[in-house]
Amino acid sequence: MSFSLLTTTCLFTLLYCLSLSVLAGETLRILAWPGYADADLVEKFEQRLNVKVEVSYVSTDDELWERVNANEGADFDLFAVNTAELQRYIDQGLSVPLDLDELPNLDNQLPRFRDLESIPGVSRDGRVYAIPYTYSEMGLIYDRTKVKAPPVSMEAMWNPHYRGRVLAFDTSNHNFTLAGLLLGAGNPFHLNDTEFTQAVIKLVDLRRNVLTFFRSPEEAVELFAENDVALIFGNYGNQQVKQLREAGADIGYIIPKEGALAWLDCWSMTRGVRNRELAQAWINYTLEPQVSEALTQRQGLANTVTPFPTANDSDRIIWLEPLQYHAKRESFWSRIRSGDSLEALLK
């Protein structure tokens, strides 16, 4: 390295550290999914910058929207959200653009995540609203001792043979999209009126077949251990697989023939962010190799810094896209989950 380049690098590092020193005493409010901000990693960040971090957790996309939207983004500085869901936060002005100059650790990311303009959903009108952090496909988990032949489709969750032995995920967005996918909708993320009605019927049938709907991978592990469960919708993908196997479950995991929905979770700032520098310092911190690798080692989730073996090249992976009719999906899902009859739902 030349002397001039070394001097420039040192100067940049010095200026960056000085910029962080003014954050002392500040509080960062994070809304995230379990495992995205573990206590020991938060403590290290707090000690490094002499700040305080308050972490709140969510278990569904619907809950995330409710909490960020409740006070127009004023209750949190930073939140974790998938690229498809992010669009409505941008639409409502609840997410604000980031300053990439404050994120030098972007250089640590794998090439596929470094070109932000090529990733659908993270940018708009030339401004970047989110930084990719972790991702997973949503396959189908099955108990090897109860399902003799590995299933090939998510349709297995509707099989009467497994009535009362299926765990599904409690969310409006993925469930309607999954129903649309299985029904052969032109675009499962944008169901027309006829397709939406068919999806309602499909999800009522699913409700009749499931034991219950879980809201976190930990809850799914508990339900699996305490009940006669044969199939589980893998909303958390490899994270669920890891937790179940660590609990002693003899399970298999497949990407169904119709394809698996897949999410890409990112960090984004709210409109109510109190200190932009501190919020961006957290994002930059999570892109340090040891922090990103901790996510993978502990949660079984892929990160955007180190390579991770995921689905086979031949498997069909369907990245989540922005949804149509969020409120309609949420309203109908709440009624389906609560037990409304099909007749009442279709009035």
Three-state SS annotation for the chain: CCHHHHHHHHHHHHHHHHHHHCCCCCEEEEEECCCCCCHHHHHHHHHHHCCEEEEEECCCHHHHHHHHHCCCCCCCCEEEEEHHHHHHHHHCCCEECCCHHHCHHHHHCCHHHHCHHHCCCCEECCEECCEEEEEEECCEEEECCCCCCCCCCHHHHHCHHHCCCEEEECCHHHHHHHHHHHCCCCCCCCCCHHHHHHHHHHHHHHHHHEEEEECCHHHHHHHHHHCCCCEEECCCCHHHHHHHHHCCCCEEEECCCCCEEEEEEEEEEECCCCCHHHHHHHHHHHCCHHHHHHHHHHHCCEECCCCCCCCCCCCCEEECCCCCCHHHHHHHHHHHHHCCCHHHHCC
- Buried b / exposed e across 65-91, counting CB within 10 Å, b at 16+? bebbeeeebebbbbbbbbbbbbbbbbe
* Domain membership flag for residue 310: no
Same domain, 84 and 145: no
Q: What is the pTM of this model?
A: 0.79
Residues 216 and 293 in one domain: no
One domain for residues 104 and 177: no
> Is there a single domain that holds both residue 87 and residue 25?
yes
Q: State whether 215 and 182 are in the same domain.
A: yes
What range does the domain containing 250 cover? 140-254+316-345
My answer on whether 109 and 46 are in the same domain is yes
CATH code for the domain of 340: 3.40.190.10
Structural domain total, the chain: 2
Residue 311 lies in a domain: no
Q: What is the pLDDT of residue 24?
A: 72
259 in any annotated domain? no
Q: Are residues 274 and 327 in the same domain?
A: no
Q: Within this chain, do residues 192 and 326 fall inside the same structural domain, yes or no?
A: yes
Q: Specify the pLDDT at position 2.
A: 47
What is the structure's pLDDT at 9?
43
| pLDDT (tens place) for every residue of the chain, 347 residues total | 444 444 544 544 455 555 555 677 899 999 999 999 999 999 999 999 999 999 999 989 999 999 999 999 999 999 999 999 999 999 999 999 999 999 999 999 999 899 998 888 999 999 999 999 999 999 999 999 999 899 999 999 999 999 999 999 999 999 999 999 999 999 999 999 999 999 999 999 999 999 999 999 999 999 999 999 999 999 999 899 999 999 999 999 999 999 999 999 999 999 999 999 999 999 999 999 999 999 999 998 999 999 887 656 678 888 888 888 888 999 999 999 999 999 999 98
